[in-house]
Chains A and B, each alone.
Chain A
């Protein structure tokens, strides 16, 4: 239990993970679906301003056969706009319910996310604390990537990335996932395979 508290403290101090641009432009909608070794996710959010977004997130965990439904908010804590780069720190949190086989209980999550990128270099770190009833778990991930070619707005931008995921409570607590990201205008698609042989898919669309 003591370790859990340390992890909560760490979660507050260190930046959260998984989503490119968790806040959109004022009036913008974002839809997202993803799948990895542990979970299937579906998320929709709306940004009233470029500072924050509110949305709904469903997360099916195939390890314990549960589904979390959360209403959440993403908040842009700080952005650095530089001539050749951009950096961001986001806060993220949600509350909702957890559907288990026999009952329904409270659930939620919170975390931090940080990224820094240029048109050809990408780095990100994220962590998340999840509550499922009385249980809490911690996960963190980091990414580095580069785009081998510079592309314009009307061209497909390819990225090669490596994601390191750390979930202390999992059997394989650390997983490495090389992945390919393709961005075209308002659509982002990612496909990868972890060192455990699991496929990762991620599709995001902004409206």
Chain B
């Protein structure tokens, strides 16, 4: 019985691990996000990064959500520098697994 539990626990962990890695996202509040051109700028600059799988820009909440590729990510410093290079300012970075 103990072995069965161990097997189930291990299988579950191995199954969920890649999903958790794939689902890693970073969110940040954006200052200066006032029009579709601004949203496009952020999308274009962030999507060029090889670690990035998807970008979502929510103009209502002034929020950018970066979804990373499996097992990859960017540091908050790097993401902040990219957003600054795009012409905007980002604050309050948080990572969600």
Contacts and interface: CB of A to CB of B under 8 A. Distances in A.
A100 interface: no
Contacts, number: 74
A82 B31 contact: yes
B interface: dominant SS: mixed
Given A20-B37, A86-B38, A153-B59, A79 B44 contact: no
Contacts of B18: none
Interface in B1-52: 29, 31-42, 44-45, 48
Given A117-B35, A119-B34, A119-B59, A28 B41 contact: yes
A81 B31 contact: yes
Interface centre among A20, A83, A183 (most CB of B within 10 A): A83
Interface residues on B, range: 20 to 34
Interface string A141-157: 00000000010110001
B61 to A, nearest CB: 11
A186 B44 CA distance: 11
A86 B36 contact: no
Contacts of B59: 119, 152-153
B86 A26 contact: yes
A92 to B, nearest CB: 17
A196 interface: no
B35 A186 contact: no
A80 B88 CA distance: 9
B53 to A, nearest CB: 18
Contact of B36 (A26, A80, A183): A183
Contacts of B48: 27
A60 interface: no
Given A117-B35, A118-B34, A153-B57, A81 B89 contact: yes
Nearest to B62: A83
Contact of A206 (B37, B57, B62, B88): B37
Contacts of A185: 36, 40
Contact of A157 (B32, B36, B88): B36
Contact of A49 (B33, B58, B85, B88): B85
B41 A24 contact: yes
Interface in A174-193: 183-186, 188
Interface of B: 29, 31-42, 44-45, 48, 57-60, 62, 85-89
Given A25-B40, A25-B86, A184-B36, 18 more contacts: A24-B41, A25-B41, A25-B44, A28-B41, A50-B85, A79-B32, A80-B32, A81-B32, A83-B31, A83-B62, A84-B62, A85-B32, A119-B59, A150-B60, A152-B60, A183-B35, A186-B40, A206-B37
10 contacts: A25-B40, A50-B41, A50-B87, A81-B89, A85-B32, A86-B38, A118-B34, A119-B34, A153-B59, A183-B36
